[in-house]
Amino acid sequence: MKRLILAWVIIFLSGNFMLEAQTVISNHQYDMLLKNRGEVYFRISDSIVKINPGLLKSLATFISIDRVDKDYVYAYANAKGFSRFLNLKINYQLLQPPSMMLNPEKLKPAYLKATTAWDYYPSYNQYLNLMNQFQTSYPQLCKLVDIGTTVDGRKLLFIHIESNKYSTHYKPQFMYTSTMHGDETIGYVLMLHLIDYLLSNYGKIPQVTNLVDSLDIWINPLANPDGTYAGGDTSVYYATRFNANSVDLNRNYPDPQAGQHPDGNKWQPETQAFMNFAGEHHFVMSCNMHTGNEVANYPWDTWSFLTADDAWWQYVCRQFADTIHAYSPAGYFTDENDGITDGFAWYQVTGGRQDYMNYFMHDREFTLELSETKMPTPSTLLSYWNYDYRSFLNYMHQALDGIRGVVTDSVSGMPLKADVFIDNHDANNSDVYSDSLTGAYFRPIKAGTYDITFSAPGYVSKTLRNVQVQDERLIVENVVLKPSSSGISESDSQDLPQAFPNPAYDKVQFSNITGTATVRFFSLSGEPVLDAQVTTSTSLNIRYLPRGMYLLEINVKDKKYTQKLLLR
């Protein structure tokens, strides 16, 4: 490994203690500390910040604020950031790194116990073996996906879970990731546990079966393996917050307010890999897991104003926290507003993954802080699982509610990428887009009555009025857009008859048919496939049809209309 640990172990092996760093740490020890770990962990009195309200925002531009409570501000800094901090002459206390608070013997991987005991922190090689074993044991349900490598060449891995019951392309994509701060390890193990829980209980527990059938699920348990295994591949002891370049990955993303490189660093390999991955997918909802507090932190982190979907975020996060409270001891997950907070109201973060995903990717992502203790005793991990796993499942289910549908071209029947905008509601990129390959869109939103405008370049926009949405319910609104050059205005009452797929139920539905019509399906080679009598209310079962492109003839009152229909 690039970092040596011997000198640091000598300094801190005596136990859990705190030093008055300005008077105790010698220049030699200070230099050695930063050389070996690439970071320091310290705190300053919260009273200093209260005297100068702008100080915290200024400090956050060059050190990583970890958490803020009623007494202290806790922070990490690399050599450059700590040097700037020292120049401010602020009193501080140097803290023992969280990953070295436990006896290293307690953090040794459990080589002799069952790998699915989930009460230990695995070695790096155990982690790789576990991820490979998921794919080997459940080849029909999951696939191991490698999205890139870290500074030190370790792998950034996802388990992709989905059944073949419905086409993946018409399912909302959902993502869980954890431990982009390498010393925050609870989510690392809980996400391995969640993968196993979903796979092993598919077909056994109805809620699990429904989630796996209905969602396109991606889970990355370890987003910063270089930080987690900074002391070597065999143990999480000595883990660091930062990556191998001493960069905080949760300050390294483009920021909607502070620009492309708010931390002054180039994008790290881990950041680039995740941005490329997010850009290749169409995530509807996601969650990024940390520790250090016990709270569901929803956007924005960088802006003081609320998101357009603040009511939805409060509803979802309140449900998350309240479910935890129902299954955990009193006092757990009660930070800030009894377990939930708007990010900026807690403390400002620029360059965070949460705001990047919400603003640039039109996703719905929140940051989950699982424990005030960054690296708890491994024997407590099963307790955290029992406190939290129901909330993990409930949050996944939220991606199935709200408004969804398919947007297609009125002439060709082909799917369209269209902007789905909630009038007098959406702001700061809270609108979503339908997928260019399938036309499918998904819009989680709080209960209410909305006007929704669908628009795409070269097409006449269409607005659906007074769409009624209920919490915990799904409403399907499929939309057909007309090319703007067709000469057909949106107000024209003689809309063309149309067929469109309803992927959630493997059916084709019809619109704008007066009376009864005859519909004929042909393959693109001209062979007849299916004839049927339909009306506007008909839902034609097409589960037995091979997926692919079809040519349809819809005959209504001696008039024939043709369109292409893509079944996925």
- Residue 164 near residue 140, CB atoms below 8 Å: yes
Backbone torsion region of residue 331, taken as left when φ is above 0, otherwise alpha when ψ lies between -120 and 50, otherwise beta: left
Q: What is the pLDDT of residue 485?
A: 58
Q: What is the DSSP letter of 78?
A: -
- Higher per-residue pLDDT: 541 or 129: 129
> How many residues are present in the chain?
568
Q: Which residues of 25-48 are buried (b: 16+ CB within 10 A; e: fewer)?
A: beeebbebbbebbbbbbbbbebeb
User: What whole-number distance in Å separates Cα of residue 490 and Cα of residue 512?
Assistant: 14
Q: Which of 221, 249, 251, 250 is nearest to 236 (CA)?
A: 221
Classify 174 as helix, strand or coil.
strand
Mean pLDDT of all residues belonging to the chain: 88
Q: How far is CA 413 from CA 166, 403, 407, 553, 559, in A?
A: 21, 21, 9, 12, 18
| Average pLDDT of span 373-386 | 96
Q: Which tokens hold the place of 75?
A: 């922070």
Count the neighbouring beta carbons within 10 Å of the beta carbon of residue 309.
23
Instruction: pLDDT band for 140, please (50, 70, 90 cuts).
Output: very high
DSSP 165: S
User: Which amino acid type is present at position 200?
Assistant: S
Whether 241 and 99 have beta carbons less than 8 Å apart is answered as no
Parallel, antiparallel or unpaired: strands 474-476 and 364-370? unpaired
pTM metric for this prediction = 0.82
CB 55 within 8 A of CB 49: yes
Which residue shows structure tokens 């991990």?
Answer: 381
Those residues with Cβ within 8 angstroms of residue 495's Cβ, 6 or more apart along the chain or in another chain: 480, 511, 512
CA dihedral 517, 521, 524, 526 (to 10 degrees): -90
490 pLDDT band, cuts 50/70/90, is very low
Total Cβ atoms within 10 A of residue 84: 13
Contact 471, 463 (CB under 8 A): no
% of the chain surpassing 90 pLDDT: 67
**3-class SS letters over 388-399:** HHHHHHHHHHHC
- With 70 as the cut, is the pLDDT of residue 524 above it? no
Instruction: Say which amino acid occupies 156.
Output: L
Hey, is 539 helix, strand or coil? strand
Please tell me the distance from the alpha carbon of residue 169 to that of residue 11, in angstroms, as a whole number. Answer: 54
Q: What is the pLDDT of residues 76-93, one digit of tens each?
A: 999 999 999 999 999 888
- Cα separation, 257 vs 60, in Å, equals 14
Q: How confident is the model at residue 28 (pLDDT cuts 50, 70, 90)?
A: low
According to DSSP, the residues that pair with 72 across neighbouring strands are: 45
Where does residue 359 rank: exposed (0-12), middle (13-18), buried (19+ CB within 10 A)?
A: buried
Query: Which of 64-78, 133-147, 352-366, 367-381 comes out lowest in average pLDDT?
Result: 64-78
Rounded average pLDDT over 225-237: 96
pLDDT at 8: 37
The upper half-sphere exposure of residue 484, i.e. CA atoms within 13 Å in the direction of its Cβ, equals 8
Q: At what angle do helices 186-200 and 381-398 cross, to 10 degrees?
A: 60
What domains can you pick out in the chain, each with its CATH number? 6-95 (3.30.70), 120-398 (3.40.630.10), 401-492 (2.60.40.1120), 493-568 (2.60.40.3080)
Rounded CA separation 34/79 (Å): 6
Q: Is 477 a catalytic residue?
A: no
For residues 271, 59, 365, 206, the Cα torsion angle rounded to the nearest 10 degrees is 100
pLDDT above 60 (res 493): no
Q: Is a pLDDT exceeding 90 seen at residue 113?
A: no
Per-residue pLDDT averaged across 321-327, rounded? 98
Identify which of 106, 141, 134 has the alpha carbon closest to the alpha carbon of residue 120.
106
Say if residues 389 and 329 touch (Cβ distance below 8 Å).
no
pLDDT classification of 46: cutoffs 50, 70, 90: confident
How far apart are alpha carbons 328 and 319 in whole angstroms? Answer: 14
| Residue 76: strand pairing partners | 41, 64
**Of 15-19, 22-26, 467-471, which has the strongest mean pLDDT?**
467-471
CA 143 to chain centre: 18
Residue with tokens 């940051």: 367
Q: Residue 452: what pLDDT?
A: 96
DSSP 17: -
The DSSP call for residue 562 is E
What CA–CA distance (Å, rounded) separates 170 from 499?
A: 17
Cross-strand partners of 175: 218, 286
Q: How far is residue 462 CA from its own chain's centroid?
A: 30
Catalytic residue among 39, 365, 369, 372: 369
